[in-house]
Each structure stands twice: as C-alpha cells, then as structure tokens.
Chains A and B, each alone.
Chain A
Amino acid sequence: MLATTLYEDGDHRWIMFARDPQKAEGIIDTNQYMVQSGDQAILLDPGGIELFAPMLSAVLKFVPAEHITHLFASHQDPDIISSLGLWDQALPNAKLYSPWLWESFIRHFGMEKIEFCAIPDEGMTLNIGRIQLQFIPAHYLHSSGNFHVYDPKAKILMSGDVGAAMESTDAPLWVDTMSTHIPKMRKFHQRWMPSNEAKLDWIRRARQLDIQIMAPQHGRLFQPPHVQEFLNWFEDLPVGIAIKG
C-alpha cells in the first residue's frame, strides 16, 4: 500500500493510502485518507474488507492504534466501508461518523464495539485533535445519503466519488491535463450520479470553499487550476443518463 503525505504542518497531517500492489483483479482501486492532529486521527472511507490488512499495517506506520479515534464513511458502498467488521476488532473504542440514513445498512458489515455517530442531512463539524473538519452535504452524489470532508486549514476537500476516475494502479497521483483526464471521468459521472439538481447544489457549495487539493476516492487528485476546471466541466455535464437508454 502506497502512502503519500498530502499535507503536513506540525502534527497536522493528511496521508493518502492507495495503489495497493497486492490488490486483487476485478476490484476497483480506491484512495483512503487519514487526517491526523495531535493524538487523534480519522480514517476517511477506510475501504473494502480485502484492503483491511494492508490498510491497518500502513496506518500503523504513522500512528499507534489508540490514536485512530475516528472513522468516516461518506456513504454505504462496499468499497467504502465493508472492512468495518474487522476495524471493529482492531479499534473497539473508535467512533464511526456516517450519514444517518445509512446506519441500519452499514451495521450489516458488522459493528459491535465501534460507536455509530449519525451525521444529520445538513452536515456538521468534528474536532480531531486541534483541527476542525467539516462534513459537507453531497447527497445523491452518488448515494442518497452522502458527505464530503473539508479541512479549512489544510484546504483539502475529500470528495468521495465526485471527481473519481477509473485508472490503472500505476497511474500518477495528480491530474496533469484536464483534456486527457476528462475522458476517464465522463462515463462514471454520467452513469453514477443521478441528479443534475443535486450536482448543481454541490457545485455551489464547493465554489464557496478554498480548495487547494480535491481528493476523490478513486483515481487522481486535483490542484488549482484543475479544481475549478473540474467544477466547470461537471456543471455542464448532463448526469443520470441511464433512464434515456
């Protein structure tokens, strides 16, 4: 599992875990993130059950287990949180923040010790160590209960499936030119995102944020000016196309 430090200021860090060389064929490649401040850390979309061992092993290279105090699941998908039953054994005192809508579904992954903390539809803030994270509503993008995570100090937006691209495991981490990257995103966004109205609501929210890094759960990361270019492209993209099929 490749670990990349995206941001570091004292003990405030963003680490990205991705491009697992042992990843099995036929499983979508995912980006996992850890935000750390002081002796607290949160794992953002910790990933699928098959990824648990390499993930925990990689995370422990940065922090001891008792410092992983929080987990976050942007939505209910298996590539996001099907590892929960194993994290439940490893981090019995942790809290899982996730959309309230998905509580009774996510519990199917097995959660006996970890505490479920429901995020209300309008979002909320969460203190990790000395920093404050914001859970930004991203409902229907693509899941009907869905949040992104914004760190106003690091200026990083973890954007879940928004901005996702299907790439090989050896693809570069950063978007270099939008014209070559757009073809890798178009089909995914058109087919998976159901609502143009939801899309525009999210773009309005995103434009109010100062984003230095937009970090999706699949594929490459965006930096200015690609962040703004992405928002413009997404704004014009018709989504929810399957019903026309």
Chain B
Amino acid sequence: MATPIFVTAASIAAELHQAMLEAKGLALTAKNARALAVRAGSKTVGFKAITHFIDELASDIIRQSQYINGVSEHLSHNAVALWRASTAAEKFDWIATQHSDNIASLHHAMQSCYQQREALSHTLSRGLRELEQQLEEGDKHIRTANLIATSSKVEAASAGDFRNQLEVIAQNITDTADKIRAHLSQARRLLGQRQKHTP
C-alpha cells in the first residue's frame, strides 16, 4: 500500500529539519575555524578566507532547509485536507449508487466537495513540484560544500603548527556535508517514491 502523501510530506519535513540542525553545526565550525585562523596569523590567510564561504554556505543551507521544511509541512496539511475531502467524495459516490429518491438534494454539497478535492489536489501537485525543485537546489549546496572541504584540506596542509587542528575542521566540513547530503537524498527518495504512486 502506498504511503499517504501527508505522511511522506511530514517525513520530508523531518529530514529537512535534521539537515538544518547539521547546517547550524557547520556554522559553528566556521566560527571556530575563523577564531583559529585569526590566532594562527599570516600562515592561514587562505583558510581564513575560506571560513567566510563556509559561514555563507551554512546560512544558505539553514535558510533553504527552513524554507523546504515550511513547504513540506504546508504540503502535509494540504494532503490531510485532500484526504478528508476524498473520503467524503468516496462516500458520496457510494451513496449515489444506492438509490435515486433524494439524491438530487445532495447535489450542491457533492459538487462543492468534488471541487474542493480538485482544488486541493491541484495545490498538492504544485507543491510537490516545488519541493522537487528545492531539493535539487539543495544538491548544489552540497557540491559547494565539497569544494570548500577540498580547499580547506589544501590550505590546512600549508598551515604549519596549525595543520592538525585545521585538518580536523576540514574533515568536520566533509562529514557535515555528507550528513546533509544523506538527509536530502532521503527526502528525494521519499518524494520519488510518492510520485511513483501518484498518477
């Protein structure tokens, strides 16, 4: 049985929430790296410059995760409303097959229920498309994070006494980027699975 959209969307929101927490960790890493770079002085000028990029990237990811989180939560509510309208519509369909006596008197309520179902399912597919685009955006951030991590490692190698500490930070960036990527791909997997079942 297909997972209902409202469960999928809520799960996506949860993944993005985790991604956002990781990005907050990344912002902290950037702050530590900058403090270290300042103390290290001239040997780490390159690294210091990179910390600005890390910081910027972290706040981009946080902003975007929060946005996707909002979109998917909204989507989940929307899907619940759609489920309720569809449930009522299915009951009306069944009632319509039962007898004809006063069925005409339900016409108005049935029509507005069907219209509501239509409108909600329209909003829902638009929301799902937007979600897909946003998750693709997220992948771009991951590619940037990987570039930054590589540059950090290069800069760390020439940082003399601070080499070890900076290497730890560079590794930290790589690990965090991996975790965020895992959350994003899990979100995309959930979305893809859902769309297979949605005509």
Contact = CB atoms under 8 A, between A and B. Distances in A.
Interface residues of A, number: 18
Given A52-B91, A56-B91, A57-B99, A110 B84 contact: yes
B109 interface: yes
A117 B98 CA distance: 32
Contacts of B85: 89
A176 B30 CA distance: 83
Q: Is the interface of B mostly helix, strand, loop or mixed?
A: helix
B88 A90 contact: yes
A198 interface: no
Interface stretch (B63-71, B100-108, B145-153): B100-108
Contacts of A52: 91
Given A65-B106, A90-B106, A92-B109, A57 B87 contact: no
Contacts of B113: 89
Contact of A65 (B87, B98, B102, B112): B102
A64 B102 contact: yes
Contacts of B99: 57, 60-61
B84 A61 contact: no
Given A52-B91, A86-B91, A89-B85, A60 B109 contact: no
B104 A53 contact: no
A11 interface: no
A229 interface: no
A237 B190 CA distance: 58
B94 A53 contact: yes
A83 B91 CA distance: 12
A56 B95 CA distance: 8
Contact of B103 (A60, A63, A89, A110): A60
Q: Is the interface of A mostly helix, strand, loop or mixed?
A: helix
B50 to A, nearest CB: 53
Contacts of B92: 89-90
A61 B101 contact: yes
Nearest to B106: A65
Interface in A60-105: 60-61, 63-67, 85-86, 89-92
A92 B98 CA distance: 22
A91 B87 CA distance: 15
A53 B90 CA distance: 9
Interface in B72-126: 84-85, 87-88, 91-92, 94-95, 98-99, 101-106, 109, 112-113
A141 B77 CA distance: 37
B109 A64 contact: no
12 contacts: A52-B91, A56-B91, A57-B94, A60-B99, A63-B102, A64-B102, A66-B105, A67-B105, A86-B91, A90-B106, A90-B109, A92-B112
Given A52-B91, A85-B88, A92-B109, 20 more contacts: A53-B95, A56-B91, A56-B106, A57-B95, A57-B99, A60-B102, A60-B106, A61-B101, A61-B102, A63-B102, A64-B102, A64-B105, A65-B105, A65-B106, A67-B105, A86-B87, A89-B92, A89-B113, A90-B88, A92-B112
